Amino acid sequence: MTEQKNPCCTGSNPGYAELGAYIDALKIDPKDPERKEMLIMTLHKAQSIFGYLPAEVQKFVAKKFSIPHADVSGVISFYNYFTTTPKGKTNISICMGTACYVNGSEKILQDFEKALGIKSGQVTADGRFSIESLRCVGACGLAPVVLINEHVYGKVKQGQAEKIIEEYLIEYGEQVEVQ
Amino acid sequence: MITLTIDGREVSVPAGSTILDAAKKLNLKIPTLCYLELEKLHYKNQVASCRVCVVEVEGRRNLAPACATPVTPGMKVITNSKRVLSARRKNLELIISNHPFTCLTCLKSTECELQTMAWEYDVQVKYPNGERMRHKKDHSSAALFRDPDKCIMCRRCETMCNEVQTVGALTAFGRGFDTIVAPAEKNEIVDSPCVYCGQCVTVCPTGALIGHSYVNQVWNALFDETKKVVVQVAPAVRVALGEEFGYPAGEIVTGKMVAGLRRLGFDAVFDTTFGADLTIIEEGTEIIGRVTKNENLPILTSCCPGWINFIRYYYPSLEYMPSTTKSPQQMTGAIIKSYYAEKMGWDPKDIVVVSIMPCIAKKYEASLPNQESYGIRDVDYSLTTRELAKILKEGSVDLRYIEEEDFDSPLGVSTGAGVIFGSTGGVLEAALRSVYELVTKETLENVDFVALRGLDGAHEAVVDLGVRKIRVAAVSGLGNARKILDKVVSGEEVFDVIEIMACPGGCINGGGQPYAKDRDAVLQKRMESLYKLDREDKLRKSHENPEVIALYKDFLGEPGGHKAHDLLHVENFEASVMKEWEQF
């Protein structure tokens, strides 16, 4: 696995204090064999704070739980939701659920990959865009569906990737950040 | 008790037993692959992932894994119906279809449980072109080699590493077909807290986890006419090597082994127990110093590199506790390349020291940057007991048909105290024999510290040294080490000397020993043989070893003195860090 730059999680990121307080409130007994049951909710919290779960954050959680780093890493690797790579400011998710898939979402994914020059699961060098695939978003009537951050684009056709990204940026893009 | 019938035969077993337990009572052999139980260790791997132990249970829709299905009253089990046998075979075929067909060159060949099972069950390969795992082989460490493509996901290594040894280096990474047992983040093993104890190797059913082989390097050295190749053999090897040549477990083959090594062309055959005696002199001096001054206690033994790694990663604040003495392997190497080289008029640079160890962590230890003296490596190659059997066989030596010979002098003279280093409690017992006499100036009549012996994992005793009583403990298995260290840290227990061995039972159960099917029984035999050797030895105290005495008189000077420090101690303990492990 390639070493990721950690723009967020080195040094004294205040996120650690928040995550630390969250875990402390769980009152984990290092001798309790069942303590791992609270690991998944903790990782949800961690990902909501840092955006992703780099090795530093994993080790922080492992230490707080008195469990090996390997245990934390194993759980993260099992669940699709957890990610160890940072997401871009603009995260593009292509639905690969059954309805979208049979309507050609694989081609749509390739379109976006080509447009941004990155593969699914990666982020552009400037940190602005990332692409991922996900399972059914519950909007099968609009298949194939693309999500840009929280905004839904339905019935996407091949060759529209660049247009959709532009539309999104004009409507919600950088201005949202400025506000 | 619960009564059930298996294949029409009635059997009663305690509640909580599995179908497999009940079948065993009837002497019915249900095949298992992922399942493993080691009673002495309280180790049970019961993930039911391989599904080769499936049986039919009346009234149950699907087949049940015998290893993980508890018995119920009146249960009717069938172990050999057509449905069972075809499912079993199908499951085995599916496992094999995703396993490399490289048995001919696999280091685990003939010892592989999957291979044996494929042969026993006449498995046909029906899906040779099916989907396969393709993962990177991990050559990153000097000791442990991982080939994840050979992994059958039995998870035994994980149970051993994480639960028994509490090292926690391995996890199942990923999901579904892509799952791989690997260190966190799928890192290489050098970037994990692996301590190289090799216990995973002893439970791996296939060749997925195995010690690195240095057989070729050793042959090359033996065939190099410009080199003097000197070999040393650890105590635990002589009571296990025989198993590789068809002897019963625990057979003592010291003399035959020495003769065999000489046939292979080694220029001198020495005994690591000589280094063990030296260790006792140096470590004993340290014990006496620290106990009489009552400082930096407890003193912890430093012979076991797996254990030393463990304390480095998990208890960095206790790093002042282990003795600074090198291990017997390194001491013997250092003395061969200094004292012995001088005696023979050899240039140390032309000497290759090969060690035969029951261990794979010794390979790692030999490779550490600080394990050298005056800029020369103490030990060049470390082979396991298994590798020794291989080179003997390759060199046309069959132990069964060879006359016994003695070790060479001077580093072949040893004592019973050095021999018992191979079993848990042995180092401590050996140290006490010498420390007692050196402190009290009285002869120790009964040298057997029986309270410290046995495979149970932890023993303790109180010894009266006259000036004061000392409390000592011998612990084996890193899970047990963690328990005692936690008590030491919390102040719940106070000890003066603690011996710790990474492998449960000590070196007789090392990661480099012959694979044992009936492990608990085999270990017991190996241990008994070591104590038998000790009992029958005329010399049973390290400080009475005449060659050790001569070595100090002619060469080293005082125990713990300047020269001894240069050759026999790790000057800067810090320098032995190869990995940075900030949080563990």
Residues of A in contact with B169 (CB under 8 A): 68, 70
DSSP, res B267: S
- CB < 8 Å to A71, chain B: 162, 168, 171
Model pLDDT, residue A44: 93
Q: Which CATH architecture has domain A90-178?
A: 3-Layer(aba) Sandwich (3.40)
**H-type alpha helices, A26-158:** 39-50, 55-65, 69-78, 98-102, 105-116
Q: Say yes or no to pLDDT of A177 above 60.
A: no
Beta bridge partners of B373: B376
Contact assignment for B582 to A67 by CB distance below 8 Å:
no
Looking at the DSSP assignment, which residues form a beta bridge with residue B45?
B36
Distances (CA, A) of A175 to A129, A153, A170, A171, B391: 16, 20, 8, 8, 72
Which two three-digit tokens encode residue A170?
């004009």
Q: What is the pTM of this model?
A: 0.89
pLDDT above 60: residue A174: no
Residue B124 is predicted with a pLDDT of 80
Distance CA B35, CA B20 (A): 10
Kindly report the average pLDDT of chain A as a whole number: 87
pLDDT score, position B140: 94
Predicted confidence (pLDDT) per residue in A46-96, tens digit: 998 998 999 999 999 999 999 999 999 999 999 888 989 888 889 999 999
- Alpha-carbon Rg for chain B in angstroms: 25
Geometric angle at alpha carbon A133, from A130 and A134, rounded to 5°? 125
Q: For residue B173, what is the nearest residue in chain A, using CA coordinates?
A: A74
Q: What is the DSSP string of B436-495?
A: HHHHH-S--S----GGG-SSSSEEEEEEE-SS-EEEEEEEESHHHHHHHHHHHHHTSS--
**What are the φ and ψ backbone dihedral angles of B302, each rounded to 5 degrees?**
-125, 20
List, for residues A157-169, the tens digit of each pLDDT value: 999 999 999 989 8
Question: Can you give the pLDDT at residue B571?
Answer: 63
Chain Cα centroid distance, residue B191 = 22
Instruction: Give me the average pLDDT of each 10-residue run along chain B (584 residues).
Output: 96 96 96 91 90 96 96 97 95 92 93 94 80 92 95 95 95 92 94 96 97 96 97 98 97 98 97 97 94 92 95 90 95 97 96 98 93 92 97 97 96 94 96 95 92 93 92 96 95 96 96 93 96 96 96 94 91 45 40
Q: How near does any CA of chain B get to the CA of A56, in Å? A: 10
Interface size between A and B, measured as CB pairs under 8 A: 55
- What's the pLDDT band for A9 if we cut at 50, 70, 90? low
How many separate helices (H) and strands (E) can be counted in chain B?
19, 21
| CA-based nearest distance A65→chain B, Å | 12
**So what's the pLDDT on residue A171?**
84
At residue A11, the pLDDT reads 57
- Taking CA–CA distances from B183, the nearest residue in chain A reads A70
> What is the rounded distance in angstroms from the CA atom of residue B543 to the CA atom of residue B474?
21
Q: How many CA atoms lie within 13 A of B101 on its CB side?
A: 8
All domains in chain B, ordered by first residue: 2-97 (3.10.20.740), 103-211 (3.30.70.20), 215-576 (3.40.50.1780)
Q: What is the ipTM of this complex?
A: 0.85
pLDDT at A2 over 60: no
The burial class, CB within 10 Å (0-12 / 13-18 / 19+), for B233 is: buried
Backbone φ and ψ of B218, nearest 5°: -70, -40
Query: Out of B171, B185, B187, whose CB is closest to A71?
Result: B171
Top residue of B171, B186, B580 to mutate, by most chain A CBs within 10 Å, is B171
